[in-house]
Amino acid sequence: MTAARKTGRIGSLAVAAALLAVLLAADWRFYKRYLTYDPMTTFVDVDWYRPFDVVAGGDVPPIVTAQAGARSIAPAALDAALVAARETGSLSLLVWHAGALQLEWYGEGRDARDIMESASMHKSVLALLIGIAIDEGYIASAAEPAATYIEEWRQDDRSTITIQNLLHMAAGLDRPSRSAGPFSDHARARFGTDWAPLVLAHALDDPPATVFSYNNLKSQALGILLERATGRRYADYLEDKLWRRVAESEARVFLDSPKGLARTSGSLLTTPRNWLRLGLLYLNRGRVAGEQVVPESWMREVTAPSPLNPNYGYHVWLGTVHEPERGYGKGVPAFVPHSAPFAADDVVYFDGAGGQRVYVVPSSELVIVRTGLPARDPVTGAFLWDDALLPNILIAGVPDRPGRETAAVPGGN
C-alpha cells in the first residue's frame, strides 16, 4: 500500500469515527439502550429502565397469609404448581385463594422486595385508568373518537378510530417494521427517546373495528390520550387514582426521556405482591377493602369478550374459547401453547412477554401471579411455556363446592 493510499484510508476511518461519535452524541440514550438490551438480564435490571417516574404505594390492608396447616388448596396442587414453576424458569409464584395467600415462593436470590419488568401486563392497568378517567368526566365514553384528544388524527381516516377500538386492539393502525436495525421504527419504538411522534405518525392498515391485531402502538396512543384528556402526567394519575389505593409499595414507569412520555404498553416495574393486589382488584370487580376504586360497570366492560376476538377484552386476555396455540392477530408471528382448555370458563389474565402472568379465576376465588423467563428447550431453543398449566393445576386443587366436581390434580400424585 502506498503512503498516499494509507494516508487516505486513515483519513476515511477518522471521518467515519467522527461521524459515529456525532451520531452517538446526538441520541446517546437510544444507542445505550439499543446496545445494552438483553432480554435475559434486563428483565431484572431495574437501573436499565432509567429514566423512570416513581409511583408511590399506599396504606392498604395487609395480605393475609394462610398458615401451613390451614391452607384451602390441596397440598398436592400447591406442590405440583411449585414444581411446574421451577421447571419453567419462574422467579416468583404467588397463589391466593378464598381470602388468604396460600403460597408465596421466590427463586434463588429473589425475594418479595424485588421489582422487575412486567412487559405487557401493564396494559391491563392502563385499561383501568381509562375507565376511571371516563368516570371522572375527563373522557366522555369508550365510544368517543380518539381524535377528540389526539388532534394529529383529526384530518385523515384515523379520525374514525374510537377509544374502544384501541382497547380492543382493533384500531387498524399499521405496525412498525420488524427490522432490528437501529434506524427502524421497531427499534425506535422500543428504545427511542421521543415515542409520541412515532406513535402518532402511523397510518391505518385496515378500517377500524375490522381486524384484531395486537400492537403496542395502540397502548402508547391510549397513554398519550389519557395524559391529554386529564391534563396530568401518567404516573401522577396512576398514583393518585389507583396505586395508592391498591398497592403496598412503589412502582416505576419507564420513560422515553427525563420528564418524558411513559411507556404505557409495558415496563411498569413493581413487585409480584403488587401484581397480586391488582389481580384481586379484578377479582373483586374494582373494590378494595369495601371501596369502589374502579367503577364496577367498567370492570364488566373490561372483561367482556370483544367482537373480533372472544379471548380479548379491554387490554386483558380471557379464556372464553380454547385455542391450542393462542395468537396475537394480524402481523404478529407469535403464538403461546395452550395444551388444554382452562378448567374454569371465567379465567381473566394479564399477559406479559416472557411468561409474566396474573391469572384471575372468579368462580374459584383464585389469583395466581407468575414472573420470570421461561426455560428453553435444550434441543430447539424454544421457550417452554403452556398457559393452561398453572391455572389448571391450581383450579383442580380448590375444594369441592356444590355443583362442582373436583378434578384430579395435573402433575399431582
pLDDT at residue number 200:
94
Given a cut of 60, is residue 298 above it in pLDDT? yes
Backbone angles phi, psi at 229, to 5 degrees: -70, -40
Mind listing the pLDDT tens digit for each residue in 207-253? 999 999 999 999 999 999 999 999 999 999 999 999 999 999 999 99
Mind listing the pLDDT tens digit for each residue in 312-322? 999 999 999 99
| C-alpha cell at position 19 | 461521524
Asked whether the beta carbons of 328 and 334 are under 8 A apart, the reply is yes
- The better pLDDT of the pair 58, 186 is held by 58
Residue 103, classified by CB atoms within 10 Å of its CB into exposed (0-12), middle (13-18) or buried (19+), is buried
Mind listing the pLDDT tens digit for each residue in 357-406? 999 999 999 999 999 987 777 777 777 789 999 999 999 999 875 434 33
How big is the chain by its Cα radius of gyration, in Å? Answer: 23
Given a cut of 90, is residue 327 above it in pLDDT? yes
Band (177; pLDDT cuts 50, 70, 90): confident
Given a cut of 80, is residue 19 above it in pLDDT? no
d(Cα 279, Cα 129) in Å, to the nearest integer? 15
Question: Cβ contacts of residue 90 below 8 Å, gap of 6+?
Answer: 107, 355, 370, 371, 372
d(Cα 283, Cα 369) in Å, to the nearest integer? 13
Which of 277, 212, 206, 279 lies closest to 245, judged by CA?
A: 277
Given a cut of 50, is residue 102 above it in pLDDT? yes
d(Cα 202, Cα 118) in Å, to the nearest integer? 25
DSSP category for residue 202: -
Which of 257, 168, 258 lies closest to 218, judged by CA?
A: 168
DSSP category for residue 247: -
| C-alpha cell at position 216 | 403496542
| C-alpha cell at position 308 | 373480533
d(Cα 221, Cα 164) in Å, to the nearest integer? 12
DSSP category for residue 295: -
Please name the residue that has the C-alpha cell 494516508.
7
Element (H, E) at 337: strand 335-337
- Percent of the chain past pLDDT 90, that is, above it, reads 79
Asked whether the beta carbons of 364 and 45 are under 8 A apart, the reply is no
Helix ranges (H only) for 287-388 are 296-302
Domains of the chain: 42-396 (3.40.710.10)
